[in-house]
Amino acid sequence: MRYQRRTPQLQRLVEDVGVVLAGRGGSRMLRILGVTLSRYTVLSQLKRVPLPPLEVPRVLGVDDFALYGDTYGTLLVDATTRLPLTLWEGRDAEQLSRWLRKHPGVEVACRDGSLTYRQGITTGAPDAVQVSDRFHLWQGLSRRVQDIASTHRGCLPAAVPRGNEGDPAPVQGTVENTAADTRAGRHARRLFEAVHALTRTGRSHSSVARELGLNRRTVSKCARARTWQEVMRRPPRKPSTLDPCLGYLQQRWDEGQHSAKILHEELQAKGYLGHYQRVKMAVAPLRRGLPLDEPHERPPSPREATRWITTHPHRRSPRINDRLPRLLEHCPELRTAHDLVRRFAAMLDNRDATSLPEWLDDLANTGLAPLAGLAGALREDRHAVSQGIATAYNSGVNEARITDVKLQKRLMAGRAGVSLLRHRVVLIAHLRRRYADRPTVSPR
């Protein structure tokens, strides 16, 4: 420009800093470099930078992202060059089909299982091969397995190994009687009896919660419980360094040594490095005629059970390999889900979708509502699912670019408009590519 007060090199610096740090951050960085500009000037210079010419990609990635609140946006990515093409507010099919008709030439379109994007691609690029992303397919199946595990929550304690068969029964009765005498035990018993007295009359959990002044989840927990002991909060004790010494403590106690100080000294002679207080707390139950408090394993949550089922057998820990068969033997529904998950994983590993129709039929005939619903959804999108299993195309590039979009939003405190956000997302990707491709000069 004729009256420009910045040299071309300084102008490029201002533009690059604006692209990387936006208005306020760019103004601060330029001030450190000796260039005093307001954030509004930095943003105006950024908006003057022209976007690179758009080249229609052969492989297109389509995905949505949260713009702000409940408003979502759509991001298009060139899956070959891994560069973002454009983004806009909304995720309706008409907008996507309009862009595809305006930019013909897309041969492959990678997307998730969204019906909106499926319709938009079908309308705008009917000749393009649609690919349903492998990650979203696996994620959808995992969610259905978690729904089944939540429904059969009562089966999850079966995964925990039981104690020795020779343990005397009176000890357990003594422990329960002692718990009933505590304040927490009396409260749990009163709560259990009050909830069951009202739910037996056929009243809903919400009505019982309002009358007793409790949370609905608490009422549901008490209603599911078979005994008041299940209502009582008893967090399992975490393993400690003293656990290998519990057998020795029990033996010395039976021999008549009841001094925690002497027992601690004996353990120190054997190499125990823990504090005396831990030994004192460990032998405290023995003074009341109770057994030693050994670490008690908590049953897996529905999410943990799902992770056990979806993890490859060779990557499971020995602990999971010991507990998962117990759970599957006790719960036929989870065993069915496990077998179907492993068959689908084999299709993904081998990239072979020939057995997909048979797998979908088995999925629908399980009698489990979550899996039957998933089978119906996958059957409607069967061609894209087959491409997602058999081909190497996926939406990994889309997810990476969405992470970058979220970063740019945070840099602008989420107050940037869609046009400015689009400008920065596209320009910063090309800026990074430009400097990444620049050859480095090694020092002499």
Query: Looking at residue 390, what is its pLDDT?
Result: 93
Query: Looking at residue 351, what is its pLDDT?
Result: 92
Please report whether residue 38 resides in a domain: yes
The per-residue pLDDT for range 225-274, each reduced to its tens digit, is 877 777 765 555 567 788 888 889 999 999 999 999 999 999 999 888 88
Query: Looking at residue 220, what is its pLDDT?
Result: 87
Question: Which pairing describes strands 71-78 and 108-111: parallel, antiparallel, or unpaired?
Answer: unpaired
Assigned token pair, 382 = 């069967």
Q: Which of 64-68, 83-87, 342-346, 385-389 is the least confident region?
A: 64-68
Please report whether residue 358 resides in a domain: yes
pLDDT higher at 441 or 238: 238
Query: Any idea what the CATH number is for the domain that residue 103 is in?
Result: 3.30.420.10
Query: Looking at residue 182, what is its pLDDT?
Result: 66
pLDDT band at 348 (very low <50, low <70, confident <90, very high): very high
Q: Which of 3-12, 207-216, 278-287 is the least confident region?
A: 3-12
Both 307 and 386 in one domain: the answer is yes
Both 323 and 342 in one domain: the answer is yes
The per-residue pLDDT for range 150-196, each reduced to its tens digit, is 888 888 988 888 653 334 334 344 444 544 556 777 888 888 889 98
Query: Looking at residue 441, what is its pLDDT?
Result: 53
Please report whether residue 161 resides in a domain: no
Q: Which of 173-177, 248-252, 330-334, 391-395 is the least confident region?
A: 173-177
The per-residue pLDDT for range 13-57, each reduced to its tens digit, is 888 888 888 888 888 998 998 888 898 888 888 888 888 898 999
pLDDT band at 58 (very low <50, low <70, confident <90, very high): very high
Please report whether residue 227 resides in a domain: yes
Query: Looking at residue 234, what is its pLDDT?
Result: 55
Query: Looking at residue 439, what is its pLDDT?
Result: 61
Range of the domain at 40: 8-48
Query: Looking at residue 426, what is its pLDDT?
Result: 92
Both 229 and 248 in one domain: the answer is no
Q: Which of 103-107, 184-188, 336-340, 439-443 is the least confident region?
A: 439-443
Give the residue-averaged pLDDT of 285-307. 82
Count of the separate structural domains present in the chain: 5
Query: Looking at residue 168, what is its pLDDT?
Result: 38
pLDDT band at 338 (very low <50, low <70, confident <90, very high): very high
Query: Looking at residue 380, what is its pLDDT?
Result: 92
Give the residue-averaged pLDDT of 334-355. 94
Assigned token pair, 163 = 């104690």
As a whole-number percent, the residues of the chain with pLDDT over 70 amount to 89
Please report whether residue 340 resides in a domain: yes
Please report whether residue 80 resides in a domain: yes
Average pLDDT, the chain: 86
Please report whether residue 142 resides in a domain: yes
Burial class (CB in 10 A: 0-12, 13-18, 19+), 375: buried
Please report whether residue 90 resides in a domain: yes
Most confident of 196-200, 286-290, 337-341, 366-370: 337-341
Query: Looking at residue 217, what is its pLDDT?
Result: 86
Residue with tokens 């929550």: 153
Assigned token pair, 426 = 């596209």
What's the whole-model pTM score?
0.69
Query: Looking at residue 167, what is its pLDDT?
Result: 41
Residue with tokens 């609905």: 216
User: Measuring CA to CA, which residue among 356, 305, 285 is closest to residue 157?
Assistant: 305
Query: Looking at residue 340, what is its pLDDT?
Result: 95
Give the residue-averaged pLDDT of 366-377. 92
Both 268 and 321 in one domain: the answer is no
Both 402 and 329 in one domain: the answer is no
| Res. 99: pLDDT tops 90 | yes
